[in-house]
Chain A
Amino acid sequence: MKPTVGFAGMTHLGLVSAAAVAGQGFKVVCFDGDQALVDRLAQRQWPVLEPGLDELIRSNGARQHFTAAPGDLAACDVIYVAPDVPTDDQGRSDVTGLTALIHSTAAAMNPAAIMVVLSQVPPGYTRTLGVTPPERLYYQVETLVFGQAVERATKPERTIVGCADPARPLDPSLRAVLEAFGCPILPMRYESAELAKISINCCLVASVTVANTLAELCERIGADWCEIAPALKLDRRIGSHAYLAPGLGIAGGNLERDLATIQRLADSRGTEAGIIAAWLRNSRYRRDWPLRQLQERVRGVDPVIGVLGVTYKENTHSIKNSPAVALIKALTGYRLASFDPVVRASAEWHPRLTVADDPLAACDGADAVAIMTPWPLFRMLKPVDLARRMRGRVVIDPFAMLDRAAAVAAGLDHIVLGAPLAGDRQ
């Protein structure tokens, strides 16, 4: 008989992860102490934007049950504790809410059940919890990616499980849940698993930083990163899925949190981690790439800038550390018009900001347009339409959403990350 699985905490991570487990045929109890949230979930009002989430939960049907009653968790064999952990501007996690939920869940769960902490925690956290006997407490690495969360949760590459003692066999109920996903299971010490998650993110940041560093050089020497990246991906030591797309620095909060964690750990334990500061410096510098491009290219009196996209990436509501928001705030002295398909720009960000109802309306009369978020709908824009609606010719398109040949043919100055600049250096 399949174990019953509980999830405590119905924000982004918990909701998507619970749906993925239910999708494997398990009965899943989805608990959150916020009755209003549970009511909304019961009405299929999801608090996050994730492609495929609605369809997945719909197909789960009665297997996935939402409740605000902690007593419902008593029926579960395996309980994941999975609230989103907030971070501050310094990338520090606030685990207060998580810890409280772990304790209340421990009080509500069946004494024979096992608890799995799924929320990301700082190394050393799980072993000090002491809420259940160690052999019934696990930490599992989450690999949530905003905008791809359903894909990542339903088709994980591997499962990393932190255990009090990895030499002991995994609990059979937990093993049954994990094996349903058909991927390698890697048990290890709590501390190793906690650091493994951060290690993954550090590798990703390293790759992106390499891409950003070399992409900028491309812009200055007439090389094109788009031509180089495929060659790197064919190198087995780098790999076809390597993060080699240049971007506007790291954003969203999760990677920043991990880098801050490493810096704090290295500082307190006396290890050398200077490279983290270099990554962060590069990230901040690349975040402002559109600002530098605009300042260099936009002249005239009282210029108007169109900003397409506000979220930090596509397919999310999140604006945490969004380069678009940073750009809007920095463009004092300009008039702005913005458009984003899911987030309305705030008047608090800029005193002369208007919000348009569609992307082309945000381009009306603009001296320059910056396409700050790679929303798929921006790929549908025709450069000739932009050229017709704009007053100027400058299109800052870091992610190459417009067809380059068509943009040039439309007479636009099409500025792309990692591509040779047409004029002088920025």
Chain B
Amino acid sequence: MTLSHKQCDAVKPARIVVLGAGGFLGRRLLAACAATGVETAGLGSRELDLTAPDAGAQLGQWLRPRDVLVFLAALTPDKGRDSAALMRNLAMGRAVCEATRSVELAQLIYASSDAVYSFATTLISEDTPAIPLDLYGAMHRTRELMLAAEAKAPLAILRLTAIYGADDTHNSYGPNRFIRQALKDGRIALFGNGEETRDHLYVDDAVDLILKTALRGSTGVLNLVTGKSESFRAVADLVAAQAGRPTEVVPSARQNPATHRHFDVTNLMRAFPGTRFKPLADGLAATVGEIRA
């Protein structure tokens, strides 16, 4: 189970439509699409409420035949972790499925999440069973299954690990929150001593891979991860070093056992040979620089 390409070389699609265009990732993706000269259109929640009962029909009217539809829209955990958020997210998925039945798309790219995986004691690859541990992960997995079963379009599922970069509005534990804490308070608060290891993907690297997926007409499943996990402590230390002001990294009493997550990126290397990820230190420096500017 991995990604396969319809085209050997990059081919510009007729148009790329981004759902969730108002979000952190959507804005960057739209800009990158435009930079390649591809006609683009973005839909945010202001233009179209994907949870509305008639959202599928409305979206269908927006779309044209041979569009590539990139489905980024989601209520992220900072906007709700409960079943109400889950059901609203699933309603969005249903609307997308419905829309694809009214127009023949060239491709549907779904931005899923590595939250579909549990914390395993082995490397995670696309072959690892998707066993989500919370409603957010269950939401993404359910959407994946909905799209695979009901969407009428060649489907690429990209499971993104946590992304970071300037303009990120989420305040989840990790690089983005650490940067805010460092710049505002000169103090980064860790759970325990930040022993947990996670994969952190710079937003422009994520955008680059999503765009490549569109240009190659790819289908299948791929984890968008760097393959290099770092501890939150290491991330915090890097942020503190880049903050431009004295910043204290503050541990706390550990409440829960530390968990780790490492990825096998072999399939990504096969799908997109030569992919280079921005090193974490460079990505954090760029993010801090953008925010300070």
**B34 within 8 A of partner (CB):** no
Roughly how many angstroms separate A289 CA and B259 CA in the complex, as a whole number? 26
Interface centre among B122, B264, B266 (most CB of A within 10 A): B266
> Nearest CB to that of B269 among chain A residues?
A295
Give the residue of B122, B266, B275, B276 whose beta carbon is less than 8 angstroms from that of A292: B266
- Smallest beta-carbon distance B239→chain A, Å: 20
B264 near A330 (CB under 8 angstroms)? no
A291 near B228 (CB under 8 angstroms)? no
Give the residue of B123, B125, B264, B274 whose beta carbon is less than 8 angstroms from that of A333: B274
A331 near B123 (CB under 8 angstroms)? no
**A349 within 8 A of partner (CB):** no
**A236 within 8 A of partner (CB):** no
Roughly how many angstroms separate A299 CA and B275 CA in the complex, as a whole number? 10
**A24 within 8 A of partner (CB):** no
> Nearest CB to that of B267 among chain A residues?
A288
Give the residue of B125, B228, B273 whose beta carbon is less than 8 angstroms from that of A332: B273
B123 near A295 (CB under 8 angstroms)? no
| Chain A residues whose C-beta falls within 8 Å of the C-beta of B270 in the assembled complex | 291, 330
**A334 within 8 A of partner (CB):** yes
Roughly how many angstroms separate A130 CA and B174 CA in the complex, as a whole number? 68
| Chain A residues whose C-beta falls within 8 Å of the C-beta of B125 in the assembled complex | 285
Known: A281-B127, A285-B123, A425-B228. Is A333-B266 also a contact (CB below 8 A)?
no
Roughly how many angstroms separate A425 CA and B279 CA in the complex, as a whole number? 13
Give the residue of A281, A295, A299, A425 whose beta carbon is less than 8 angstroms from that of B273: A295
- Smallest beta-carbon distance B200→chain A, Å: 15
B269 near A291 (CB under 8 angstroms)? yes
| Chain B residues whose C-beta falls within 8 Å of the C-beta of A299 in the assembled complex | 276
Q: State which residues 232-274 of B face A: CB under 8 Å.
A: 264-266, 269-270, 273-274
A331 near B266 (CB under 8 angstroms)? no
| Chain B residues whose C-beta falls within 8 Å of the C-beta of A332 in the assembled complex | 273
Taken residue by residue from 47 to 76, chain B's Cβ proximity to chain A (1 for < 8 Å, 0 otherwise) reads as: 000000000000000000000000000000
A interface residue count range (under 10 / 10 to 19 / 20 to 34 / 35 or more): 10 to 19
A285 near B228 (CB under 8 angstroms)? no
| Chain A residues whose C-beta falls within 8 Å of the C-beta of B276 in the assembled complex | 299
Q: State which residues 297-315 of A face B: CB under 8 Å.
A: 299
Q: State which residues 243-301 of A face B: CB under 8 Å.
A: 281, 285, 288, 291-292, 295, 299
| Chain B residues whose C-beta falls within 8 Å of the C-beta of A331 in the assembled complex | 273
B273 near A288 (CB under 8 angstroms)? no
Interface centre among A291, A299, A332, A425 (most CB of B within 10 A): A332
| Chain B residues whose C-beta falls within 8 Å of the C-beta of A334 in the assembled complex | 273
A295 near B274 (CB under 8 angstroms)? yes
Roughly how many angstroms separate A285 CA and B274 CA in the complex, as a whole number? 19
Taken residue by residue from 122 to 158, chain B's Cβ proximity to chain A (1 for < 8 Å, 0 otherwise) reads as: 1101010000000000000000000000000000000
- Smallest beta-carbon distance A35→chain B, Å: 44
A288 near B266 (CB under 8 angstroms)? yes
B273 near A330 (CB under 8 angstroms)? yes
| Chain A residues whose C-beta falls within 8 Å of the C-beta of B273 in the assembled complex | 295, 330-334
> Nearest CB to that of B123 among chain A residues?
A285
B interface residue count range (under 10 / 10 to 19 / 20 to 34 / 35 or more): 10 to 19
Roughly how many angstroms separate A334 CA and B273 CA in the complex, as a whole number? 9
> Nearest CB to that of B266 among chain A residues?
A288
Interface centre among A288, A334, A425 (most CB of B within 10 A): A288
| Chain A residues whose C-beta falls within 8 Å of the C-beta of B123 in the assembled complex | 285
| Chain A residues whose C-beta falls within 8 Å of the C-beta of B274 in the assembled complex | 295, 333
| Chain B residues whose C-beta falls within 8 Å of the C-beta of A285 in the assembled complex | 123, 125, 264, 266
Roughly how many angstroms separate A330 CA and B2 CA in the complex, as a whole number? 13
- Smallest beta-carbon distance B208→chain A, Å: 15
Roughly how many angstroms separate A332 CA and B266 CA in the complex, as a whole number? 13
| Chain A residues whose C-beta falls within 8 Å of the C-beta of B228 in the assembled complex | 425
- Smallest beta-carbon distance B243→chain A, Å: 24
Roughly how many angstroms separate A330 CA and B271 CA in the complex, as a whole number? 9
Roughly how many angstroms separate A291 CA and B127 CA in the complex, as a whole number? 18
Roughly how many angstroms separate A285 CA and B276 CA in the complex, as a whole number? 20
- Smallest beta-carbon distance A411→chain B, Å: 24
| Chain B residues whose C-beta falls within 8 Å of the C-beta of A292 in the assembled complex | 265-266, 269
Interface centre among B123, B264, B270, B275 (most CB of A within 10 A): B270
Roughly how many angstroms separate A154 CA and B139 CA in the complex, as a whole number? 62
Roughly how many angstroms separate A292 CA and B269 CA in the complex, as a whole number? 8
- Smallest beta-carbon distance A202→chain B, Å: 20
- Smallest beta-carbon distance A408→chain B, Å: 26
- Smallest beta-carbon distance B245→chain A, Å: 29
- Smallest beta-carbon distance A332→chain B, Å: 5
> Nearest CB to that of A301 among chain B residues?
B274
Roughly how many angstroms separate A301 CA and B274 CA in the complex, as a whole number? 10
Known: A285-B264, A295-B274, A425-B228. Is A330-B127 also a contact (CB below 8 A)?
no
| Chain A residues whose C-beta falls within 8 Å of the C-beta of B264 in the assembled complex | 285
Taken residue by residue from 351 to 381, chain A's Cβ proximity to chain B (1 for < 8 Å, 0 otherwise) reads as: 0000000000000000000000000000000
> Nearest CB to that of A278 among chain B residues?
B122
Roughly how many angstroms separate A332 CA and B274 CA in the complex, as a whole number? 9
| Chain A residues whose C-beta falls within 8 Å of the C-beta of B266 in the assembled complex | 285, 288, 291-292
Sorted nearest first, the 9 A-B pairs with minimum C-beta distance are: A333-B273, A288-B266, A295-B269, A330-B270, A333-B274, A332-B273, A291-B269, A285-B264, A292-B266
Knowing that A285-B266, A292-B265, A295-B273 are A-B contacts, what are 19 other residue pairs whose CB atoms are under 8 Å apart, sorted by A's residue number? A281-B122, A285-B123, A285-B125, A288-B266, A291-B266, A291-B269, A291-B270, A292-B266, A295-B269, A295-B274, A295-B275, A330-B269, A330-B270, A331-B273, A332-B273, A333-B273, A333-B274, A334-B273, A425-B228
16 CB < 8 A contacts A-B: A281-B127, A285-B125, A285-B264, A288-B266, A291-B269, A292-B265, A295-B269, A295-B273, A295-B275, A299-B276, A330-B269, A330-B273, A331-B273, A332-B273, A333-B274, A334-B273
